[in-house]
Amino acid sequence: MEKQSLSLFVRSEIGKSGVKKLRKSGFVPAIIYGHNKPNILTKISTKDALTLAKQKSRAFFYEIENTDETLKGKKVLVKDLVKDALSDEILHVDFYDIPEKEPVKMVIPIRLKGKAIGVTKGGILEWERREIEVKASPENVPDFIEVDVSSLEIADTIHLEDLKLPNGVCFVGDPKNPVVTVLAPKEEVELTEEQKKAILEASLAEPTKE
C-alpha cells in the first residue's frame, strides 16, 4: 500500500455555528480516533478532502505533515467520508490513528485476469466479490488482489481460501465465501405449438374499446 503525506490541522470550531464558519473558510471538519487513544478534532482543506474522495482512500495510508506535536508524524487511514446525499458536498472525514507495529483491517479491490475457459463454452461469469477485507500492517497491504480466472471451467468456483495473498497479509471472513464462479448457460425453454399460437393471437388482438 502506498503512503502519502496529508495536511491536517487541530481545530477549535465545534457546534453548528463553528462548523458553518469552518466550511466558509474552505475547510471540512474531521476527527482522528484510535484504539485506547483520545479523539483529536481536526480540519482538512476542502481541496484535500476532494482528493481523498477521488482516491477512495483504500489504496493509501497517510502520514500527517504538521508542526503541531499533537499531529506531527501520525499515520492515519480514512475510515469514513460523509457526503451530503443531494449536493455531494463532503461533510465530515473520519481518520483512524494507525497503531505502531499492529496490523489493521483494510478493504481492497479484486481485479480479474484472463477469460475463463467455461465462458468460451457458453458459461456465464459471476463475479460475486469485488472487494476483500484483509488484515496486515499498512506497508504490506497491496493496492489490489489479482485473480486469474482463465482456467475456470463451467461450475468452477474460486473461494477466498484460494486467493494468493502476499506474505504477512491474511483475509478476513469465511474462507469458503465465493469470489468468482462460472455458471452453466441458461437453458432456453422450447414453447409448444399451442403456446406459440396463443402468444401470436394475443399480439394481434385489438385493444378493448371502452
Rounded to whole angstroms, the Cα distance separating 205 from 146 reads 55
Q: Where in the chain is the domain with CATH 2.170.120.20?
A: 104-183
Between these two residues, 104 and 190, which has the higher pLDDT value? 104
Span between the terminal Cα atoms of the chain, in Å: 68
CATH number of 2-97: 2.40.240.10
Q: What is the pLDDT of residue 15?
A: 85
200 falls in which pLDDT band (50, 70, 90)?
Answer: low
Residue 66: is its pLDDT beyond 80?
no
205 falls in which pLDDT band (50, 70, 90)?
Answer: low
Q: Where in the chain is the domain with CATH 2.40.240.10?
A: 2-97
210 falls in which pLDDT band (50, 70, 90)?
Answer: very low
- Please, what CATH class does the domain formed by 104-183 belong to? mainly beta
Residue 58: is its pLDDT beyond 90?
no
Element housing 144 (H / E):
none
Rounded to whole angstroms, the Cα distance separating 14 from 7 reads 20
Q: What is the pLDDT of residue 32?
A: 94
Classify each residue of 25-42 as buried b or exposed e, where b means 16 or more C-beta atoms within 10 Å of its C-beta: eebbbbbbeeeeeeebeb
pLDDT tens-digit map of 72-130: 888 888 888 888 888 888 999 999 988 877 788 888 889 999 999 999 999 999 999 99
> How many other C-beta atoms are found inside a 10 Å radius of the C-beta of residue 72?
11
Q: What is the pLDDT of residue 206?
A: 53
Between these two residues, 55 and 11, which has the higher pLDDT value? 11
